[in-house]
Amino acid sequence: MEYEKIPFLCGRTLLIILVLAMTGSKSNGAICPAACRCENDVLRTSCASASLEFVPIQLNPELHELDLSRNKIVHIHFSFPFYEELIVLNLSHNKIKTLGNSNFLSQKNLTHLDLQYNQIENLTKESFKGLKALSHLDVSNNSLEVIQETTFRDLHSLVVLRLAGNKLVHLEAGLFRSGKNLKEIYLNDNQFLEIPTEALADTVRLRYLSLSRNYIRYIEDGAMPNLPELHTLLLNYNIVTEIHSDGLSTLISLMYLDLSNNNLTVMPTESLAKLSNLTTLTLSGNFITVLQPISFRGLFNLKILKINRLMTLKQIDVRTFVDNINLEKINMDYNLGIIKLPTRLFHGNSKLTYVSVRFNGLQNLEAIHFPLDQLHELRLGGNPLQCNCSLGWLWQLIQSYKTKSINTSTNTKSEKLIPNIDLILDEHDIICEGPEDLHGKHLSSATKHQMDCSVGWLAAISVTITVIFILVVIGGVVYWAPKRRTKSSREEKLRSSLPEPNIPRKSDSYEAAQIEKYILQPSMMIHNEYRTLTPWDPYGPSVVNIYEQINDNRERPHIVYV
């Protein structure tokens, strides 16, 4: 195949020689095609959208910038040997299928090469030979499936590499061994099933990595190589369901992380806690159901948080953001399952200036939900709000925002809740779902009477019912108290007229029992035989008279038995 092209190439080379011979010197003999725009004073030529099928060879050889984008160029063989001074070359949006070998060997000063949106199917070890000064290479949106390990070996100065929009599944280990200066790599819109850890291990100075729109499912322990300078990682639009607790621990300098539009069902709190320098986090479009207390633990430097379109989110704990003391902006739009916000949810974030809770399921909002004195912008539109007097504070806030002043002549509670009249509101999107008289209308169109709780008919009815109840209770007490007193006195008189029943008292029976205990029974059982004991006579013949022994001359004493 290559031999068949030799006559054609020889003829073309001869044509180039003839043109150069006819034009004389390189600088003075340059010819600018009609479809091109040549700026020789700045050594720049643009032939974009000129329907060219070949690279023009009659341009100024001293060109620094050449734009050949949006043409019909199929190959570039031997097209640039005489443009040695090129710094920027744009070949995007053509029909190039191969770069061949050593076709950029003369471009030692080239720093930017744009090859995106062609039909390139492979890259060889000689495709970029000689491009030692190249710093920006864009080969995105081609048909690459495999890249050889030695393809980028001459690109020692490469800083930005774009390989997005190809069919890459794997990258060879050592592919970036010569790219010690690489700072940005774009691998999005390919077919990676996992992070190309081995290939990225050599990019120790990498600061930006995009792996968006691939098929990565798990981020396992050790999936991310040690990239100490990486500050931006894009993993959005993958199918990530789980992140190991140490899956991101090597990214000690990471500041921006996008995990949106994946399949996460629970907050990867343990994984994120290792990213102490993270300032921006996006988790929108996942399937997280609950935000637990301290879901963003350890993210003390977090400033921007986006948790939009969490369609299955039902609950937010009041302590969700307590660790995020530097949080400045939070987006919580299109979370349709959120019908109520925890009270004082954002009051622990003293630097918060922007809150957006648009298109949620919120029906009621209270002023205490938001730190109004520090906010600069508050977005509430698209919620099915019930515009009763409980939203009086928001109505007053809108009026104050519209007029940029507060009417201090009326001292109402709602005015006290509005310390910041410069707060930006999306007032045109705050529309009432109810009550019926305000359905489909802007909250700002409601009247002061509809928003005033102090004179509302509901409050008046409540007060009336309460007063009636109190009067009924007092009347009942006044009416029934005398009747009850009269009835009691009658019962006492009737009770006093009846004879008192002879009921033995407990004390009398108790005393009788005690006395009987000390009375000796007339008969006793001794040794199973019954004997009759005669009453004791102290003066009987068998009894000694103790008194006579004491005094024989004394008369017999008179003993009285008690």
> Which residue, chain included where needed, has tokens 């040695």?
84
DSSP letters for 382-429: T--EE-SGGGHHHHHHHHHHHHTS--TTS--HHHHT---TT-EE-GGG
Supply the CATH classification number for the domain 362-465: 3.80.10
Cα distances (Å, whole numbers) of residue 202 to 140, 182, 257, 282, 493: 21, 9, 21, 27, 111
**Closest alpha carbon to 254 in 213, 224, 223:** 224
- Listed in sequence order, the residues at least 6 apart from 487 whose beta carbon sits closer than 8 Å to its beta carbon are none
**Closest alpha carbon to 181 in 160, 159, 166:** 159
Exposed/middle/buried for 529, CB within 10 Å: 0-12, 13-18, 19+? exposed
pLDDT tens column, 186-214: 999 999 999 999 999 999 999 999 999 99
Distance of alpha carbon 172 from alpha carbon 176, whole angstroms = 9
Longest dimension (CA), the chain: 192
The predicted model scores a pTM of 0.74
pLDDT (0 to 100) of residue 14: 44
Distance of alpha carbon 97 from alpha carbon 118, whole angstroms = 7
Q: Of the spans 3-17, 32-46, 257-271, 548-562, which averages the highest pLDDT?
A: 257-271
* pLDDT over 50 (residue 412): no
Percent of the chain residues past pLDDT 90, beyond the cut: 60
Residue 528 banded pLDDT, cuts 50, 70, 90: very low
* pLDDT over 50 (residue 439): yes
Q: With b meaning 16 or more CB within 10 Å and e meaning fewer, what string describes 125-140? A: ebbbbbbeebbbbbbb
Q: Token digits for 140?
A: 């995105």
> What letter represents residue 22's amino acid?
M
Distance of alpha carbon 172 from alpha carbon 451, whole angstroms = 67
pLDDT tens column, 226-262: 999 999 999 999 999 999 999 999 999 999 999 999 9
Residue 422 banded pLDDT, cuts 50, 70, 90: confident
Please tell me whether residue 469 adopts helix, strand or coil conformation: helix
What is the C-alpha R_g of the chain? 50
Q: Which residue has the higher pLDDT, 513 or 175?
A: 175
Q: Of the spans 244-258, 384-398, 458-472, which averages the highest pLDDT?
A: 244-258
Distance of alpha carbon 548 from alpha carbon 438, whole angstroms = 126
- Ranking 266-270, 286-290, 358-362, 533-537 by mean pLDDT, the lowest is 533-537
* pLDDT over 90 (residue 149): yes
How is residue 305 annotated by DSSP? E
Domain map (residue ranges) of the chain? 35-215, 362-465
* pLDDT over 50 (residue 524): no
Distance of alpha carbon 88 from alpha carbon 79, whole angstroms = 15
Phi, psi of 92 (to 5 degrees): -70, 155
pLDDT tens column, 159-172: 999 999 999 999 99
Please tell me whether residue 156 adopts helix, strand or coil conformation: coil
For residue 146, the Cα-to-chain-centroid distance in whole angstroms is 38
Distance of alpha carbon 182 from alpha carbon 205, whole angstroms = 6
Question: In the chain, how many H helices and how many E strands?
Answer: 9, 25
Residue 522 banded pLDDT, cuts 50, 70, 90: very low
Fold of 35-215: 3.80.10
pLDDT tens column, 278-324: 999 999 999 999 999 999 999 999 999 999 999 999 999 999 999 99
pLDDT tens column, 123-135: 999 999 999 999 9
* pLDDT over 60 (residue 456): no
- Ranking 222-226, 254-258, 323-327, 353-357 by mean pLDDT, the lowest is 222-226
Q: Which residue has the higher pLDDT, 482 or 232?
A: 232
- Ranking 157-161, 435-439, 440-444, 537-541 by mean pLDDT, the lowest is 537-541
> Which residue, chain included where needed, has tokens 């200036």?
353
Same fold, 35-215 and 362-465: yes
- Ranking 195-204, 265-274, 346-355, 546-555 by mean pLDDT, the lowest is 546-555
| Other Cβ atoms within 10 Å of 53 Cβ, number | 11
Residue 417 banded pLDDT, cuts 50, 70, 90: very low
pLDDT tens column, 88-122: 999 999 999 999 999 999 999 999 999 999 999 99
> Which residue, chain included where needed, has tokens 């986006």?
306
DSSP letters for 355-386: EE-TTS------GGGS-TTT-SEEE-TT--EE
Calculate the average pLDDT of the chain.
83
Reduced 3-state DSSP string for 47-93: CCCCCCCCCCCCCCCCCCEEECCCCCCCCCCCCCCCCCCCCEEECCC
pLDDT (0 to 100) of residue 534: 53
- Ranking 29-38, 369-378, 411-420 by mean pLDDT, the lowest is 411-420
Distance of alpha carbon 352 from alpha carbon 303, whole angstroms = 9
